[in-house]
Every structure is written in structure tokens, then in C-alpha cells.
Amino acid sequence: MAIETLQVIPLLRIFDVDKAKEFYLDYLGFTVDWEHRFDDNAPLYMQVSKDRCVLHLTEHHGDCCPGSTVFVWLTGIEELHRDLTAKQYRYMRSGLDRTDYGSLCVTVIDPFGNSIRFNEDLKARA
């Protein structure tokens, strides 16, 4: 059988479940697919998704380091920027930037220092 990559899911370190949900669910519009804890006093590990973007958010210290960046290609970047701006999230006011590599980009930074760079290829819009 040939090797085939089926999906890549980035892990992002979080330190506060309520702040993570405020950012990823309320601000970015992701939904929780599932949550896991080994017991009531254990760190949370959860999957969130929006369309085809899937992320794992983890409180487990050994899973990953805070300050990671996820790069996402999408369409509708101007609509995304309008939606995020309209929410007036108190901790983030992202711009809509033209990149050197021919895209429009909205970068958001979560409360734990992780970044998501949403990009739309300008050549694909033509």
C-alpha cells in the first residue's frame, strides 16, 4: 500500500480553557468537536474546527511549546477580516495585509502567543 498523508492537525499549547474558548469559539468561530481529560483534575486536550481547518488545543505541557504559528490558505479573506473586526474582540485588532508572496493575510494571535496566518492567494482570485 502506498503512503498517503490524509490530514495534518497542528497542536497549539493553551493555559486557560475559558480564554481559549473565548478566542477560538467566540472570536474565530470554531466549534468544539470533542474534549478529553484523563480525570476531572487533568489537563484538557480538545479538537476545534471550522470548515476544513482542524486544530488540537492542549494544556499538556509535553505536547508542544507556546508561540507556534499555523499557516492557513483560504478564500473570502476580506469577509473574514470584516467578521473579525465586527466582533470587536478586546484583545485583537487584526489588519488585512498584502504580503510579499502575493496574498492578502489576516494574522491573529491567541492569548497564549500562538499565531494563525489566514491567507488568500491573489493570483487565484483573478
pLDDT in tens, 82-118: 999 999 999 999 999 999 999 999 999 999 999 999 9
Q: Which CATH superfamily is domain 11-125 in?
A: 2,3-Dihydroxybiphenyl 1,2-Dioxygenase, domain 1 (3.10.180.10)
Q: Which of 61, 22, 66 is nearest to 42 (CA)?
A: 61
The confidence score (pLDDT) of residue 125 equals 75
Q: Which residues, including other chains, have CB under 8 Å from residue 120's CB and lie 6 or more apart? A: 73, 74, 75, 76, 77, 103, 104, 105
What average pLDDT does this structure show over 48-55? 97
Rg (the chain; Cα; Å):
16
pLDDT in tens, 58-79: 999 999 999 999 999 999 999 9
The whole-angstrom separation of Cα 44 and Cα 56 is 10
Whole-model pTM: value is 0.94
The confidence score (pLDDT) of residue 25 equals 98
* Domain residue ranges in the chain: 11-125
The confidence score (pLDDT) of residue 83 equals 97
Q: Which of 36, 102, 26 is nearest to 63 (CA)?
A: 36
What average pLDDT does this structure show over 45-52? 97
Question: Sign (positive/negative) of CA torsion 49, 50, 52, 57?
Answer: negative
The whole-angstrom separation of Cα 76 and Cα 51 is 13
